Structure 1
């Protein structure tokens, strides 16, 4: 059975070219016949690399003998969260209203005009017959009646903490935040908006802690309507949207159970406030605070996590007690030996430490 020994091709030595043409230099054969070699200038090996942001899309050259064309390798686009941009035309602006005295005067003028028209027609009791109800009298009745209806029908009472959002044929016409007796065009549609500082206490909302353990969190949200036009016209129901934004923020922010240190709860509250405020700002709602007021385990993991917490507290208590016992034993033995009360060798010292440890542990375990 014959075996073949792998060998490498070594370049053969050839005489150098002589001045008289006695010999010619022959290039050594290529070691790799399937690839084309190219000389690389030395300065290109030590050039500075450009900044990552200034690099152009990489170009992959074609391979020799394959007929493949050069192609550009573009980096994958980074997906960003789309921003919620409200309608620029839908922004709160003051509406044109008149003082309530103008509406009262217009209404009284309409009533007085109707009485005068009745006297003109001679329809008042105890008066002599007049011109009767003709076209002129009916026209006077129509004008004075319309004036009275417009005067009294446009009266409205503005309250502190309340606003009127006005619209005409589906178009926003302005917001009234003034208080007192006002006159508003009765042809405009009015929608009441509550602009007071409000709070909302949620129910048990699903959440999770930093380790992914399921929790149930109750949060208290302090908020108010800042832009009445966007809150009432830019979204179907701004209160429902606020609740959904709170639930979305709780799904993204880990919440810790309340303990001795409030730093974790404060950090979670600050993160929730920032997220919810950023989400509801485009719809005209201003959020001041989102704070967890009650945090508890979900029902499906409550029993297991309660046992785990009890075991951790028990282990911590035992470790604390053991550290205290060891410190007490060490202090006792050190005082006895330094004051010269006893002279102990290694065996006696170990026995004394053992007896003191048992005694101190027994004393700690006895109920008070």
Structure 2
């Protein structure tokens, strides 16, 4: 397939062409009036060129709004684009097709896919894009807006299958900025053939599929509890070590049995979820 690239079309100011059109219309009116009055064939040779000139000048006038481009097609061949806003005159025999250069948003539907661990998830994204090459947008793909929608969803599916929903390291839930940048780059790679620039791509919805949501929620809660308990135990061990070093620094040496009992009591007091009940040793019954 031959690639078509945008280039600027020939055009002149529409006001100059409008002035010439008024002259042609005046010429046409004079020729028509003279022909009806004098009934001489000479005026017919003025009438036909004036009519042709008026028609061509009128057909070549067009306007371009801000953030819009006019693509000219002359006998089924691309004849250039006019991007400058205003009133213009170009090839009157060329067909003009308008292409919006405004920024567009595409919001995907909620897609159900499997993440890298095989868990079913629901995911959706928004893609912010605009046309930067009008020739590619019009001639390289059938419909550039439909193309953006289909390729954006395909890129989103591919990205979701490469990363887990939530895990240590890079994940869909844990690395939103990195995932957004990678999604933008992948969508851009797919849409460059259509002359489209992707300004931003970001996830708008991310959740486990309903059939596994409760089970995955319990799994997340269990992992959170384990992580919290690990942190509590590590802190308690540090505090016990610090207490033993403090006693030794003050010359209060303990034998191994008492040290073990003290460590046990401190760990129970620090780690237990319930309030510790102190036990006072008043000695033994028999001496």
TM-based fold match above 0.5: yes
Query: Which of 216, 223, 226 is 1:315 aligned to?
Result: 226
Query: Which of 352, 355, 359 is 2:262 aligned to?
Result: 352
Answer whether contact 2:140 2:193 (CA < 8 A) is retained. no
Structural mapping, 1:205-354, within 5 Å? 205-253=111-159, 254-257=162-165, 264-341=175-252, 343-354=253-264
Distance 2:7 2:199 in 1: 23
Which is bigger in relative contact order (C-alpha 8 A, separation at least 6)?
A: 2
Tell me what 1:120 maps to: 34
Structure 2 length-normalised TM: 0.79
Answer whether contact 1:220 1:293 (CA < 8 A) is retained. yes
Distance 1:241 1:229 in 2: 15
Q: How many corresponding residue pairs? A: 270
Q: Is 1:191 matched up with 2:97? A: yes
The alpha-carbon deviation at position 288 of structure 1 amounts to 4.5
Tell me what 1:87 maps to: 2
The 1:135–1:304 alpha-carbon spacing in structure 2 relative to 1, beyond 3 Å, is farther
The alpha-carbon deviation at position 105 of structure 1 amounts to 1.8
Tell me what 1:163 maps to: 69
Answer whether contact 2:17 2:57 (CA < 8 A) is retained. yes
* SS state at 2:73 partner: strand
Distance 2:146 2:220 in 1: 37
Answer whether contact 1:109 1:147 (CA < 8 A) is retained. no
Answer whether contact 1:94 1:175 (CA < 8 A) is retained. yes
The 1:163–1:365 alpha-carbon spacing in structure 2 relative to 1, beyond 3 Å, is farther
The alpha-carbon deviation at position 169 of structure 1 amounts to 3.5
Answer whether contact 1:215 1:296 (CA < 8 A) is retained. yes
Q: Which moved more, 1:319-328 or 1:201-210?
A: 201-210
Structure 1 length-normalised TM: 0.63
The alpha-carbon deviation at position 256 of structure 1 amounts to 4.7
Distance 1:318 1:162 in 2: 61
Q: Which runs of 5+ in 2 are unaligned?
A: 276-287
Q: Greater CA radius of gyration, 1 or 2? A: 1
Answer whether contact 1:103 1:150 (CA < 8 A) is retained. no
Answer whether contact 2:67 2:101 (CA < 8 A) is retained. yes
Distance 2:119 2:80 in 1: 49
* Deviation digits for residues 129-162 of structure 1 (CA, Å, limit 9, x no counterpart): x436x66556645543443333233221223421
* Deviation digits for residues 240-261 of structure 1 (CA, Å, limit 9, x no counterpart): 2222222222333324547998
* Deviation digits for residues 192-250 of structure 1 (CA, Å, limit 9, x no counterpart): 11234444333323444332222222323233323222211221111222222222223
Distance 1:138 1:236 in 2: 48
